[in-house]
Amino acid sequence: MKRYSVFAVAREALRYHQGWGRVWKKPEPKKKYEAIIIGAGGHGLATAYYLGKNHGLKNVAILEKGWLGGGNTGRNTTIIRSNYLQDASAAIYEKARSLYETMSQDLNYNVMFSPRGVMMLAQTQHEIRGYKRTAQANALQGVSTEFISPEKVKSLVPIINIDGPRYPVLGALWQSRGGTARHDAVAWGYARACSEMGMDIIQQCEVTGIRQKNGQVLGVETSKGSIDCEKLGIVVAGHTGVLADMAGFRMPVEAVALQALVSEPIKPCMDVVVMANTVHGYMSQSDKGEMVIGGGADGYNNYTQRGSFHHVEETVRALIETFPIISRLKMLRWWGGIVDMTGDRSPILSKTPVKNIFINCGWGTGGFKAIPGSGWAMAELIAKGHSSLTEEFRLNRFKEGQFIDESVAAGVAH
């Protein structure tokens, strides 16, 4: 596989770009692998990549019932931040944020990481107290954040209305090294690197059953035949419950839709990410000029990958008060993704009741920001049987009452 560089681009330009090869291979499944990862989204691909890079485990298959990156990885709003309250959350999200900073170089693939900064607006006295508490916790965790004044908010985001009639801006929790990345590029970069290591990415391959004997996994049944494995990772977001049921256990997660939209492109007017949790909306501007807009998840369980008018109306109406400039924009695209939610709004990265089956789920509406950290930790768990980053995210915490409550720090959970 060719290495991307300015010299390679110039060379191929002279050849009318006829020399570029396939970015990742399209193999047929083998009879057996050391490890199978179900789910070729960002988390699944990152898990496979770090299994190979960090642990030398390369006889790996990544199975995807649809197309690579076609689930939540291709249906999100690309926000990256690590300003969480609980120590376990801050550790894994900060690991992810730091890996994003060097990802393009590590993968030799431009993921367009943009550390433009993320702010979470405080529009009530309760939010001021909550965000100051988070800033102090972040200082102890080694995560760089600060609580800033309304004037500082206005200087960073000139288009914002800080004197809103219902919810004036009273300050914000600011993480200058947060930002965004290109969601498709993250998946494609990991896929290219996995394929280069000799791993098999098998698309259009639905898992229909999980085989086990004496409480230990043996392999999977798929639409392309039976495949044996020594270890199995389930990384399927909103479909976690379906796969867990195949393995004979239940998961404390529920699936709901999360909707988002982008406006028509406009001239650059906002170069940070703003989250307004009181009015339940958030917004950033893409490199193409579109205003990327979203809010909270649907209030009922569903597997819908499309939007609903009342939800978009609620989100846009709330944001217009804080950003009057967007009131006359036209909507360009609108979509929904299926997210998996736990009771404490924190993920599950854990062993399961079946030996050598590992599960990664429960990221809710904030999974994109965690992709590299999640993959790093999950790979360590699969390869070694333990990881300091996953210890507190174990499945049994719900039986033990050891919750990792991020319902406040998650805000609108993005």
Total domain count for the chain? Answer: 2
The answer to whether residue 33 is domain-embedded is yes
Residue 173: pLDDT band with limits 50, 70, 90: very high
Claim to verify: residue 157 and residue 186 sit in the same structural domain: no
> pLDDT category, 381, cuts 50, 70, 90?
very high
Q: 186 and 93, same structural domain?
A: yes
**Mean pLDDT for the stretch of residues 77-90:** 94
pLDDT-derived band at 251 (thresholds 50, 70, 90) equals very high
Residue 388 placed within a domain: yes
pLDDT-derived band at 252, boundaries 50, 70, 90: very high
353 and 329 within one domain: no
Contact 340, 253 (CB under 8 A): yes
In this structure, what token pair is assigned to residue 30? 């083998």
Q: Which of 276, 308, 342 is the last residue of a domain?
A: 342
Residue 307 confidence (pLDDT) above 80: no
pLDDT of residue 413: 47
Domain that holds residue 141: 118-178+255-342
Q: How far apart are CA 160 and CA 277, in angstroms?
A: 15
Work out the mean pLDDT of the chain and round it to a whole number.
93
Whether residue 201 is found in the same domain as residue 316 = no
What are the pLDDT digits (tens) for 134-158?
999 999 999 999 999 999 999 999 9
384 domain residue, yes or no:
yes
**CA–CA gap between residue 293 and residue 175 (Å, rounded):** 19
Long-range contacts of range 152-159, CB-CB < 8 Å, 24 or more positions apart?
153/119, 153/121, 156/117, 156/119, 156/272, 157/119, 157/270, 157/272, 157/274, 158/269, 159/269, 159/270, 159/323, 159/325
The residues, any chain, with a CB within 8 Å of residue 377's CB and separated by 6 or more, are 92, 95, 349, 387, 389, 390
Question: Taking residues 239-260, what's their average pLDDT?
Answer: 93
Name the H helices within 148-239: 150-156, 183-196
Asked, for residue 64, whether it belongs to a domain, the answer is yes
